[in-house]
Structures are given as C-alpha cells and as structure tokens.
Structure 1
Amino acid sequence: MAFVITSPCIDEKAADCVEACPVDCIMDAGETYLIDPNVCIDCGACEAVCPVSAIFQEDFVPDFDKHWIEKNRAFYEK
C-alpha cells in the first residue's frame, strides 16, 4: 500500500514531503506533487510533515478524493 497525495495539495506545494521522503518517490506534477506507488515504501514520513494534511495511506483516502489514487498511479505509468 502506498501513500497518496490528494486535493489539499493543489497549488499549495509546500514540498515538505519531498524533502522528508527517504526514497525520492514524490515528484512535481504541475498543480500538485504525486507519489510513485511503485517506489513508495509506506514509511509515512511524508504524511507526518504535510502542512495541509493532503497525504493519506491508500486505504484511508477520503471518498471524495478517491480519484487521486488513480491520478497518482497514472502519472507514473507514462
């Protein structure tokens, strides 16, 4: 299970998560950052430092933001 960045990150992009990630799995995707689910080691370092509470474990993404799970995956399938 990977972590997922959701809508509160849009246009926020504080980048605390990028600096905290020990495996460099978070990339700038334009309006937001996204987490590569194939590289994420599920450590939670990014979630702990997110100033806008935009990061969730995949199983705990709020229903209204569930589409961000696929958006994260699709970004890294390019």
Structure 2
Amino acid sequence: MTYVVIDNCIACKYTDCVEVCPVDCFYEGENMLVIHPDECIDCGVCEPECPADAIRPDTEPDMDEWVSFNRKYSEMWPVITVRKDPLPEAEARDGEKGKRDKYFSEAPGEGS
C-alpha cells in the first residue's frame, strides 16, 4: 500500500502533511503536491493532517490513475519538506469538483 494525493489538493496546496512525513516523499507543483509512491512507507501520518482531504490510500477504488499521476509528477517536481502557506484561493476552492480539468498546472513549485 501507498498513499497518494488526489485532485482535492489542486488550487489549495495545504502543506501541513509535509512536516509530519518521516521520509520526505512529498513533491511540490505550482498548485498541488504529490507523493512519490515508491518512497512512501505507508505510515499514514499525513492523511489526517490534510485539511482538504486530498490524501488517500491506494487501496481505495479507482486509485490506480492517481498512483501513476503521483509517480509522474514526483519525478518532475522538487521535494518539499517545510510547511508553507496554502494558496490564496485555497479556502474558496476547497471541496470544489473538477479541479483537475479547471486548474491543474504541470509547472513545478519551488520546493524546500
């Protein structure tokens, strides 16, 4: 099992999860985070830290696509290990449906 970040993170990018991760497996895009599935040790400490409910175990239905998505972008984006402020629109976008098609950016974040 591994954990992955899903589209709930897009346009929010809360980073509470990165500070509790013992293996630094989070990677930062311009407007979301991903988890490298091969680096995640399946401890689950990040999941309850996410205010947007964007971290899920890959054992949930229909997560194969998100495992591939997380793998792809974790290999392109810089690692993030320090908490940062969420995006300015985070509160307004939290819980919005269809964010992947509307807002997702492939651009990398700054990392830390």
Displacement of 1:77 after TM fit? 4.2
Displacement of 1:15 after TM fit? 0.1
Q: Distance in 1 between matches of 2:73 and 2:21?
A: 18
> Is the contact made by 1:18 and 1:27 (CA closer than 8 Å) also made in structure 2?
no
Displacement of 1:48 after TM fit? 1.3
| Identity in percent | 43
Q: Distance in 1 between matches of 2:24 and 2:37?
A: 11
Q: Distance in 1 between matches of 2:58 and 2:8?
A: 15
Q: Which amino acid aligns with 1:13?
A: K
Higher helix share: 1
> 2:72 maps to which residue?
74
Displacement of 1:75 after TM fit? 2.0
Higher strand share: 1
- SS of equivalent residue, structure 2 residue 24: coil
From the CA coordinates, give the structure whose radius of gyration is larger: 2
Displacement of 1:11 after TM fit? 1.2
Q: TM-score, normalising length from structure 1?
A: 0.85
- SS of equivalent residue, structure 1 residue 30: coil
Residues 19-75 of structure 1: CA deviation (Å, up to 9, x unaligned): 111110001022210001111000001101010111110111x53x65322110112
CA RMSD of aligned residues (A): 1.6
Q: Gaps (5+ residues) in structure 2?
A: 77-112
- SS of equivalent residue, structure 1 residue 59: coil
> Is the contact made by 1:9 and 1:52 (CA closer than 8 Å) also made in structure 2?
yes
